[in-house]
Amino acid sequence: MDARYFPYKPQMTDAGLNAAEAVTAFDEFGDPRDGHIAAERALTLYIDKREIVTLMTLGTRPELLVLGWLRNQRMLNQIDQIKAIQVDWETDSVAVTTFDGIEGLDEKMRRKTVTTGCGQGTVFGGLMDEIDKIHLPRVNLLQSGIYTLLKNLNEHNEIYKRAGAVHGCALCHNADLLLFIEDVGRHNAVDAIAGHMWLNDIPGSDKTFYTTGRLTSEMVIKVAQMGIPILLSRSGVTQMGLDIARQVGVTLIARAKGKHFLVYHGAELIEFDAIPKGQQVHQQGRFAEHAKR
Whether the pLDDT of residue 205 is over 90: the answer is: yes
More confident residue, 34 or 129: 34
Q: Are 71 and 199 within 8 A, CB to CB?
A: no
In this prediction, residue 74 carries a pLDDT of 87
DSSP states of 157-214: -HHHHHH-S-EEEEEEETTEEEEEEEESSHHHHHHHHHHHHHHHT---TT-EEEESS-
Q: What is the pLDDT of residues 58-88, one digit of tens each?
A: 999 999 999 999 999 889 989 999 999 999 9
Between CA 215 and CA 173 the distance in angstroms is 20
pLDDT level of residue 27 (50, 70, 90 thresholds): confident
In this prediction, residue 155 carries a pLDDT of 77
Q: In the chain, where does the domain assigned CATH 3.40.140.10 lie?
A: 141-292
In this prediction, residue 66 carries a pLDDT of 98
Inter-helix orientation angle 62-72/186-200, to 10°? 90
Secondary structure of 75-98 as H, E, C letters:
CCCCHHHEEEEEEECCCCEEEEEE
pLDDT level of residue 101 (50, 70, 90 thresholds): very high
**Amino acid at site 145:** G
| Model pTM score | 0.85
Whether the pLDDT of residue 223 is over 80: the answer is: yes
Between CA 139 and CA 122 the distance in angstroms is 31
Between CA 237 and CA 203 the distance in angstroms is 25
Whether the pLDDT of residue 1 is over 50: the answer is: no
Whether the pLDDT of residue 15 is over 60: the answer is: yes
Strand partners, 172: 177, 208
In this prediction, residue 241 carries a pLDDT of 94
| CATH class for the domain made up of 141-292 | alpha beta
List Cα–Cα distances, 132 to 61, 69, 127, in angstroms: 31, 21, 12
CATH of region 11-126, choose from 3.20.20.120, 1.20.140.10, 3.10.20.10, 1.20.58.220: 3.10.20.10
**Cβ-Cβ contacts under 8 Å for 87 (sequence gap 6 or more):** 13, 15, 43, 62, 63, 66, 93, 94
CB count within 10 Å of CB 223 equals 30
Give the least confident one: 26-30, 82-86, 147-151.
Answer: 26-30
> What's the angle, vertex CA 150, arms to CA 260 and CA 145, rounded to 5?
90
82-88 and 93-98 strand pairing: antiparallel
pLDDT level of residue 119 (50, 70, 90 thresholds): very low
Whether the pLDDT of residue 293 is over 70: the answer is: no
In this prediction, residue 275 carries a pLDDT of 73
DSSP, res 140: -
Q: In the chain, where does the domain assigned CATH 3.10.20.10 lie?
A: 11-126
Between CA 48 and CA 69 the distance in angstroms is 16
Compute the mean pLDDT over every residue in the chain, rounded to the nearest whole number.
86
